Structure 1
Amino acid sequence: MSGSSTPTESTSSPGELQPSTMLDTSDMMFSLEGLQSDEQRRVLDMVVQIRKCGLEGDLSLPQIVVCGDQSAGKSSVLEAITRVPFPRNDGLCTRYATEISLRCAASESLTIKVIPDKARPASEQEQIKQFVQAIANFDELPRVMDAAMAVMGISKGDANNPSTRAFARDVLSIEIAGPSQPQLTLVDIPGLIATSTRGVTKADVDMVAEITDHYIKQPRTICLAVVCATNDYANQKILEKVRDVDPDGDRTLGVITKPDGPSEGSGSQKNFIDLANNMDIFFKLGWHVLKNRSYEERDFSIEERDIAEAAFFRTTSWNTLSPDCLGVDTLRTRLCTLLFEHIKRELPQLHKELESQLDKNRNEHELLGVRRSTAIECKTYLAQMSQEFHSICTAAVKGQYEGSYFLTDVDPNFSLDAPSTLARTRAVIQTLNIQFEEDIRLNGHKYQISMPPIHEDDDDVQNEDETDKDEEFQWPRSLRPKGKDDPIQMSQAEAVKWVGRVIQQSRGRELIGNFNPLLIHALFWEQSENWKNYAKSHVKMVSSVCNRFLRNLLRDTCPKDVANRLWGLRIEPDLKKRDQAAYKELDLLLSELQEFISNYNHYYADTITKRRQQRQQAVLKKAMKAATTVTIDRYGAEVTIVDTVTAIANFTLATKPDMNEFACEEALDGLFAIYKVMQKVFVANVTTQVIERHIIRGLENIFSPVVVNSLEASQAEALALEPSNTRRHRAYLEEQIKKLEEGHEIFQSVM
Structure 2
Amino acid sequence: MAEQHVNGTDLNRSANFPSLEGLRSAKSTHRLDQIARVRAKGVGDHISLPQLVVCGGQSAGKSSVLEGITGIPFPRQDGVCTKFATEIILHHHEEETRIKATVIPHASCNKSQRERFPAYYRVLSDFSELPGVITEVGALMRLRGSGMDDGLTFGEDVLRIEVIGKTGLYLTVVDLPGLISVASEEQTEEDVQLIGRLVDTYLESSRTIILAVVQANNDIANQGIIQRARKFDRGGLRTRQELDFFSSPAWKEHRLDLTRLGVTALREYLQELLDGYIEKELAKVRGEIKSLLASNESQLATLGEERPSSLYMRMFLTRRSMEFHGLVQSALDGNYYERNAEFFRVRHTARLRAEVHRLNGSFAAEMRENGLLGSRVRINAEDGPLLVTQHELHEWVKENYLRTRGRELPGNYNHVLLAELYHEQSSRWASIAENHVAKLFDITTDFVSAAMDHVVREENMRREIILLANNRLEEAKISANGELQKLLADERRQPITYNHYYTDNIRNARESSMKDAMQKAMRAAVEKDWNGKFHVSNTPLELEKVLASLQKGVIVNMDDQACAEAMGGLQAYYKANLIRCREYIHKLTDLKVALKTFVDNVCRQVIERHILSTLPNIFAPTTVMELSEEDLVRIASEPEKQRERRVALLTLAEELKESLLDLRT
Normalised TM-score (structure 1): 0.77
Residue 686 of structure 1, CA deviation: 0.9
Q: Does 1:98 align with 2:14?
A: no
SS of the residue aligned with 1:166? coil
Change (3 A) 1:614 1:131: same
Q: Which residue, out of 31, 36, 53, partners 1:65?
A: 53
CA distance in 2: counterparts of 1:654 and 1:342, whole angstroms: 119
CA distance in 1: counterparts of 2:517 and 2:322, whole angstroms: 71
CA distance in 2: counterparts of 1:189 and 1:706, whole angstroms: 61
Change (3 A) 1:156 1:619: closer
C-alpha contact 2:135 2:146 (8 A) present in aligned 1: no
2:33 alignment counterpart: 45
Residue 556 of structure 1, CA deviation: 0.9
Amino acid at match of 2:321: S
C-alpha contact 1:154 1:165 (8 A) present in aligned 2: yes
Q: Deviations over 1:368-390 (max 9, x none)?
A: 11012321221111111112111
Matches within 5 A, 1:498-577: 498-558=396-456, 559-568=458-467, 570-577=468-475
CA distance in 1: counterparts of 2:415 and 2:404, whole angstroms: 10
Q: Does 1:421 align with 2:349?
A: yes
Q: Which residue, out of 356, 360, 385, partners 2:320?
A: 385
2:107 alignment counterpart: 118
> What runs of 5+ residues in structure 2 fail to find an aligned partner?
1-8, 528-532, 575-591
Q: Deviations over 1:520-542 (max 9, x none)?
A: 11111111111111111111122
Residue 26 of structure 1, CA deviation: 10
C-alpha contact 2:23 2:168 (8 A) present in aligned 1: no
Matches within 5 A, 1:368-379: 368-379=303-314
Amino acid at match of 2:348: S
CA distance in 2: counterparts of 1:572 and 1:324, whole angstroms: 81
> What runs of 5+ residues in structure 1 fail to find an aligned partner?
1-20, 256-274, 280-285, 287-312, 412-418, 451-465, 468-482, 630-638
Q: Which residue, out of 349, 355, 372, partners 1:445?
A: 372
Q: Does 1:606 align with 2:534?
A: no
2:391 alignment counterpart: 493
1:308 alignment counterpart: none
CA distance in 1: counterparts of 2:341 and 2:546, whole angstroms: 71
Residue 237 of structure 1, CA deviation: 1.5
Q: Does 1:615 align with 2:513?
A: yes
CA distance in 2: counterparts of 1:169 and 1:163, whole angstroms: 17
Q: Which residue, out of 136, 139, 159, partners 1:150?
A: 139
Amino acid at match of 1:399: G
CA distance in 2: counterparts of 1:144 and 1:53, whole angstroms: 22
Q: Which residue, out of 557, 581, 589, partners 1:658?
A: 557
Amino acid at match of 1:421: T
Change (3 A) 1:172 1:404: same
SS of the residue aligned with 1:654? coil
SS of the residue aligned with 2:99? strand
Q: Which residue, out of 649, 654, 673, partners 2:572?
A: 673
Q: Which residue, out of 358, 361, 368, partners 1:434?
A: 361
Residue 349 of structure 1, CA deviation: 3.6
CA distance in 2: counterparts of 1:648 and 1:344, whole angstroms: 124
C-alpha contact 2:136 2:146 (8 A) present in aligned 1: no
Change (3 A) 1:522 1:640: closer
Residue 665 of structure 1, CA deviation: 2.1
Change (3 A) 1:648 1:102: farther
SS of the residue aligned with 1:172? strand
Q: Percent identity?
A: 35
Residue 401 of structure 1, CA deviation: 2.9
Residue 68 of structure 1, CA deviation: 0.5
C-alpha contact 2:506 2:569 (8 A) present in aligned 1: yes
Normalised TM-score (structure 2): 0.86
Matches within 5 A, 1:451-462: none
C-alpha contact 2:90 2:167 (8 A) present in aligned 1: no
Q: Which residue, out of 279, 282, 285, partners 1:350?
A: 285
Residue 583 of structure 1, CA deviation: 0.5
C-alpha contact 2:54 2:213 (8 A) present in aligned 1: yes
Amino acid at match of 1:56: G
Return 45-54 or 698-707, whichever deviates more.
Answer: 45-54
Residue 173 of structure 1, CA deviation: 0.7
Work out which structure has the larger RCO, using CA pairs closer than 8 Å and 6 or more positions apart in sequence.
Answer: 2
CA distance in 2: counterparts of 1:331 and 1:642, whole angstroms: 142
SS of the residue aligned with 1:595? coil
Residue 575 of structure 1, CA deviation: 0.4
CA distance in 1: counterparts of 2:32 and 2:116, whole angstroms: 32
Change (3 A) 1:737 1:318: farther
Change (3 A) 1:184 1:510: same
Change (3 A) 1:537 1:27: closer
Q: Deviations over 1:226-273 (max 9, x none)?
A: 112133323321111211222222224899xxxxxxxxxxxxxxxxxx
1:263 alignment counterpart: none
Cα-Cα RMSD: 3.3
Change (3 A) 1:659 1:77: same
Q: Deviations over 1:197-235 (max 9, x none)?
A: 453333323322222122112222111111121333233
Q: Deviations over 1:395-434 (max 9, x none)?
A: 22233334352345637xxxxxxx3332x22232233222
Change (3 A) 1:70 1:731: same
Residue 45 of structure 1, CA deviation: 3.3
Residue 649 of structure 1, CA deviation: 4.7
Q: Does 1:211 align with 2:139?
A: no
CA distance in 2: counterparts of 1:137 and 1:37, whole angstroms: 26
CA distance in 2: counterparts of 1:128 and 1:551, whole angstroms: 45
Q: Does 1:405 align with 2:345?
A: no
Q: How many residues in Structure 1 have an aligned counterpart in Structure 2?
A: 626
CA distance in 1: counterparts of 2:398 and 2:22, whole angstroms: 120
CA distance in 1: counterparts of 2:407 and 2:21, whole angstroms: 126
CA distance in 1: counterparts of 2:496 and 2:21, whole angstroms: 108
CA distance in 2: counterparts of 1:59 and 1:334, whole angstroms: 26
2:584 alignment counterpart: none
Change (3 A) 1:180 1:211: closer
